Amino acid sequence: MKKSVKFLAVCLAAAAMLSMSACNGGGASSGAASDSSNSGVGTSTLDAIKKNGFITMSTNAEFEPFEYKDGEKIVGIDLEISQKIADKLGVELKVNDVAFDSLIPEITSGKADFVAAGMTADDERRKNVDFSDSYFDAGQAVIVKKDGDIKAPKDLNGKKVGVQTGTTGDKYCTNEEGTSEIKVGSVERYNKGMDAVSDLIAGRIDAVVIDDFPAQKFVEKNSDKIAKLNDMLTSEQYAIAVKKGNTELVDLINETLKEMKDSGDLQKIFDKYLAQES
Ligand code: GLN
């Protein structure tokens, strides 16, 4: 009896040592992988995100009031929503700031768990990513010179129009499928909406087509020179993008959005950032 207990104890100790070394080996290599590659990011289950202690969101911080820089810090409506998502998981929020047309690749390559970037949920993007429920109704607005001859969207026909590369405004103006009502003359692409606005003010282009609220912010800052037309070109909805098939994460994001809508928190965030609406 005594002997068999001792034997069992030896067996258990050996098993423990074996599994410890297995764990150490495995732990060390997966730890190294998660530092240097995308392991644990993008393809993570929620458990893996919790274990890592952070969730990664990618955005393009050139889109006030949704995401923009306040000094070195990236702030805005999408940042506040993203923070709530991280809080719900009890993890830190990490933010990648990349060009707008790199955002979908951030997800497909696993560099980011989700994208919150005032991104319109459209069918073309749905081929590559899944979207959450929508959280904002938007549309493409037209910014023009205050004293210019463009008074309505139809006056854009034949004109030189600036857009932000890869956005729905770019798609509308480029009009590859020929479905847009307005046929602009030529499209100038910019990485930053602000650069398009500067070229408009300098007279190098005739108009800028960009989402309504960023348009409003640009106009507020240059109200002596530029104006926004009342009519919008499109009607769109913003949603948060995740890797295709990541239902666990999209469900958690939808739950977070619903809680924020039901509590009135989401509206408070919009009111805070859009307060200066004209
Ligand atoms: N809503 C537009 C789009 O999804 C523009 C977004 C942006 O520039 N951040 O294409």
88 lies in a domain? yes
C-alpha torsion 243→248→254→260, nearest 10: -120
CA distance 144 to 254: 37
Pairing of strands 114-115, 236-243: antiparallel
Instruction: Give the pLDDT of residue 162.
Output: 98
Q: Is residue 177 domain-shared with residue 196, that is, in the same domain?
A: yes
30 lies in a domain? no
Q: Is residue 121 domain-shared with residue 144, that is, in the same domain?
A: no
Mutational pocket test of ligand 1: of 168, 208, 213, the residue with most ligand atoms within 8 Å of the beta carbon: 168
9 lies in a domain? no
Within 10 angstroms of residue 45's Cβ, the number of other Cβ atoms is 12
Instruction: Give the pLDDT of residue 275.
Output: 77
Instruction: Give the pLDDT of residue 168.
Output: 97
Structural domain for 219, as ranges: 140-234
Of ligand 1's listed atoms, the one at least distance from the Cα of 125 is 4
DSSP state at residue 225 = T
Mutational pocket test of ligand 1: of 64, 67, 100, 107, the residue with most ligand atoms within 8 Å of the beta carbon: 100
Instruction: Give the pLDDT of residue 36.
Output: 36
| CATH number of the structural domain spanning residue 154 | 3.40.190.10
CA distances 202 to 23, 75, 170, 190, 195, Å, are 63, 29, 21, 15, 10
16 lies in a domain? no
Q: Is residue 230 domain-shared with residue 243, that is, in the same domain?
A: no
Mean pLDDT by 10 residues, the chain (278 residues): 46 45 35 38 75 97 96 97 98 97 97 98 97 98 95 96 97 95 96 97 98 95 96 97 96 98 97 72
Q: Is residue 121 domain-shared with residue 243, that is, in the same domain?
A: yes
> Ligand 1 center to residue 141 CA distance, Å?
12
3 lies in a domain? no
Instruction: Give the pLDDT of residue 44.
Output: 57
Instruction: Give the pLDDT of residue 32.
Output: 32
The number of distinct structural domains making up the chain is 2
